[in-house]
Structure 1
Amino acid sequence: MIAPAPWQLHGRAYAFALKTGAAQRTAQSGAPAALGEPGGARSILMFVDYASSDVGPYRELLFIPGHYRFPDGRRYNSIGRIYVSSQDSVDNGRSNWGIPKDHADFEVEQTEAGDQVTVSLEGRPFCRLMLAHGGPALPVSSAWVPQKAVTLAQLREGQMFRYTPQAKGRLQLARLKHFWADGEHFPALQAGNWTVGGYMPAFDMTFPVSAITGI
C-alpha cells in the first residue's frame, strides 16, 4: 500500500522522559553515526496504539535519544529506534518522513488502569513494559507549544527529512511500573519503577508532508 503524506491518525499513547547516560544513548540509540552524540538531558520513550491511520490500525514503540545538529545547522529531536506492527506503516514511514521503522509483533493486555506490552521479533521478546494511568484528563494541544519543540528530523539515504506533527487530545498522569529491553534491538534503559509520564486516552494527530533536502 502506498499512502503519501499527510496522514490523519487517531489513537492513544504513553510518553516518558527518561534520564539516560550519554554513552548508552549513543551506543544503543539507533541514530545514524553521522549525527554524533545526542544532546539534551533526557530521552523519550513512547508506546502508541493507533486505532486508525492512513494504513489502518497499528501499534508502535519508539525511542528518541535526544536532539542532534543536522546539516542545516539546527538541532532537532530525531527518532532513533522505532517498531510498528504494520508493514505498510514501515514502508510509508520510511519513504514519507525518513523514519527508521522496523516491523515487530506486539502483545498488549489492556485494562481500565493500564497496559502490559510485550514486543517481539520472530517470537523472541526484546522489550516489555507495564504501564499505568489515572487521574483527571486535561486538554492538551501541540499548538500551545513552540513549533520548534515538536519538530523532528531524520537522515535517510542521503536526504534530510523535517516534519512537525500536530496533535490534540486530553492528557493524564501515567507511570512506567516496569521496563525491560535487551539492549540490542531496543535500549536497555535504566527506568526506575513508577517513572512518571503522560497518557493520552484519545488523541487526533496530523503527520504532515516532510520538507526533504539532499545532503
Structure 2
Amino acid sequence: MSLQPEPETHPVARAKAPWPLKAESYLLFLNMKELPKGVYDKLEEVWEGEEYGTFKGGLGAVMIVRYSDTPVGPYDELILIPGNFTVPQPSSANSPIKIPKKALRIARIYVSQRTTTYNGRLNWNIPKHLARFSFSSPTSSSSSSSSSLSPLTVRVFPPNSSPGDSTPPFFACTLQPFRWLPAIPVNTSYVPISLLMAQPPCPAAPGQAAAALFEVEQERKIDAYDISEKNEEAVAAGTE
C-alpha cells in the first residue's frame, strides 16, 4: 500500500490489488549469516540504513515464479528474500496496529514485464525491476507430462541484453523435479519459514513522474514486454 496519494498519471494499465493468479513456482532455501555487498538495487540502497531495520539472518529463500494468468498478463519473476530483518516500531505504545519485531524482506525482485513492475511497486510496496528471463522449457501446464519432469534451466539477464549476445546471466540454476512422488496440493502453512513480510517504503526513480507523464502525453505505446533499461524509469514508482 502506498503512503502517497494515487498517481494521477499511469504510464501503463493500472491494476489494483487483490490479484487472482495462476503460477508455477520454485523455492530455493538459503541461510545467510550476513548480507552480501550490493544486495539492494541502486534505487533501494537507502534500505541499508539502520533506521529501516537490521538484518538478523535466519532462513531465507530465492523464489522463481512463472505466472501464466494475472490481471496484467503472464510474466516471470525472480525474488531474493535474504532472511529476517528487525522492523522499526512506532513511537507510541498505544498504536492500534500490531507490528512484528522482525519479519522477512524482499531485497530484490526482477520481473519480465513493465506493467507488473509499476503495479507491484504501488500495490504491495515491493521493489520490482526489469530483467530478461530464459527457461529451457515451457511451463508444465503448457507442456507434456514427460517434458515437465525434465530438468529446468533458468537464466536471468540484465534488461539491456538480447538473446544470443555475449551478456552473461546474473542468476542461473538448474532445477530437477522429483520423479518418484505424485503431485500433491501445497499448503503454505507447511513452509518452514514465516511468510510475514515487512518492506521499507519503495523510493521512486528520480525522473519517474516526468517520464510517466511524457509517455502519456506523447501517447507512446511501449510493449509491456519491452524490458529495455530505458523503459524502466517511468514504471519505477515509489510509495514514500
TM-score range with shorter-chain normalisation?
A: 0.5 to 0.7
After superposition, residues 97-112 of structure 1 pair within 5 angstroms as 97-110=124-137, 111-112=147-148
Structure 1 residues 3-32: Cα deviation after superposition (integer angstroms, max 9, x where no partner): 0000111111110111233142xx233261
Q: Which residue does 1:127 correspond to in 2?
A: 171
Distance in 1 (alpha carbons) for counterparts of 2:109 and 2:35: 20
**Residue number in structure 1 paired with 2:19:** 7
The two structures, once aligned, show a CA RMSD in angstroms of 2.4
**Aligned residue number for residue 45 of structure 1:** 62
Match of residue 64 from structure 1: 81
Distance 1:7 1:68, change over 3 A: same
Give the aligned partner of residue 201 of structure 2: 156
Counterpart residue number, 1:95: 122
2:211 is matched with none
* Residues 106 and 76 (structure 1), Cα distance of their counterparts in 2 relative to 1, 3 Å cut: same
Report the TM-score when normalising by structure 2. Answer: 0.59
Which protein is bigger by CA-based radius of gyration? 2
Task: Structure 1 unaligned segments of length 5 or more: list them.
Answer: 159-212
Alignment CA distance shift 1:76-1:103 (3 Å): same
Which one has the bigger strand percentage?
1
Distance in 2 separating the partners of 1:105 and 1:153: 27
**Counterpart residue type for residue 97 of structure 1:** W
Match in the other structure for 2:113: 86
Match of 2:32 in 1: 20
Q: Which amino acid counterpart does residue 201 of structure 2 have in structure 1?
A: R
Counterpart contact for 2:54–2:86, Cα < 8 Å: no
Instruction: Note closer, same or farther for the CA distance 1:69–1:37 as it changes in structure 2 (3 Å cut).
Output: closer
Instruction: Find the aligned partners of 2:35 and 2:106 in 1 and give their Cα distance.
Output: 17
CA distance in structure 2 between the partners assigned to 1:9 and 1:77 by the alignment: 22
SS in 2 for 1:116: strand
C-alpha displacement of 1:99 = 0.3
- Structure 2 counterpart of 1:89, one-letter code: T
Kindly tell me the number of residue pairs found equivalent between the two proteins: 156
Higher share in helix: 2
Identity of aligned residues (%): 31
Aligned position for 2:48: 33
2:200 alignment partner AA? L
Do the aligned residues in 2 keep the contact of 1:119 with 1:128 (CA within 8 Å)? yes
Amino acid at match of 1:155: P
- How far 1:119 sits from its partner (Å)? 0.9
Q: Which runs of 5+ in 2 are unaligned?
A: 1-12, 90-98, 138-146, 162-166, 204-238
Amino acid at match of 2:68: A
| One-letter amino acid of the structure 2 residue matched with residue 93 of structure 1 | G
